[in-house]
Amino acid sequence: MGNLEATLRAVRGRDAKSFVPYVTGGYPGVDGEFLRMLAAAGADVIEVGIPHSDPIMDGGVIQEASRVALERGTRLGDVLALVADTAIDIPVAVMTYANIVHHRGYEAFCDDLARSGVDGAIVPDLPVDEAERFAALGAERGIDVVLLAAPGTTEQRYEAIAAASHGFVYCVATYGVTGVRDQLSATARGVVTALRPHTDLPLLVGVGIATPEQAGAASTFADGVIVGSALMGPLVAGDPAAALQLADAFRRKIV
């Protein structure tokens, strides 16, 4: 069990729910001080995105954040240096795509994460069928490789995802890409319910969580909530203070 999983289990063990904000590494304003402020706002884990030119899971807000970060010259090493230099006392998971991992090489990528103090890796386009070696290499280095479970998945595949995941299972709340939605999708509860019989790992809901109220609703049946586009929206609009205020509002509702 890595530090990421241990932390989330500890939160659950005290009958609380985890709050995991997402930010795009390399975007202006996403610096060490901002990560520390997210931790101070009550984040249990921080997810930092490695910008990618084809962010296939992400909607408009995070696509724009990735574009800007890449145009500023942000690369994998820059994001890992941010994590290493910040050295906050809560776990950090990076979110990236499979071709970045493949290009670096699974073993070298895991070594890079470990040296930088990263605790987890979320790779949305890495299917469970191809995750075994990456997850094993990560586990050897204390890196929890997190798999995603989406609505409409078969029972057999939910079972496989649950068995292969480390850290937590990322329960995708709705069909489609990331981005705010008018309401919490009914499919969110269905994914969590389908996974519960297959694993004792923490089950966290993400994608489409637009408001603190929606996050609060999700926390009634999940072990925690991941919030990305809703927090990146103010940052992309040039208002990091508003993003931090919103993070505080999310934390207060996720109970």
Beta pairing, strands 92-95 & 46-49: parallel
- 211-217: which pairs have CB atoms within 8 A and are 24 or more residues apart? 211/180, 212/246, 212/249, 212/250, 212/252, 212/253, 212/254, 213/253, 214/181, 214/183, 214/184, 215/19, 215/250, 215/253, 215/254, 216/253, 216/254, 216/255, 217/184
- Dig out the tokens for 93 from the structure: 């998971």
58 carries an active-site annotation: yes
Catalytic residue among 47, 112, 119, 223: 47
Catalytic residue among 58, 119, 144, 223: 58
Tell me if residue 140 is catalytic.
no
**Cα(204)–Cα(42) distance, integer angstroms:** 16
- Annotated catalytic residues are 47, 58
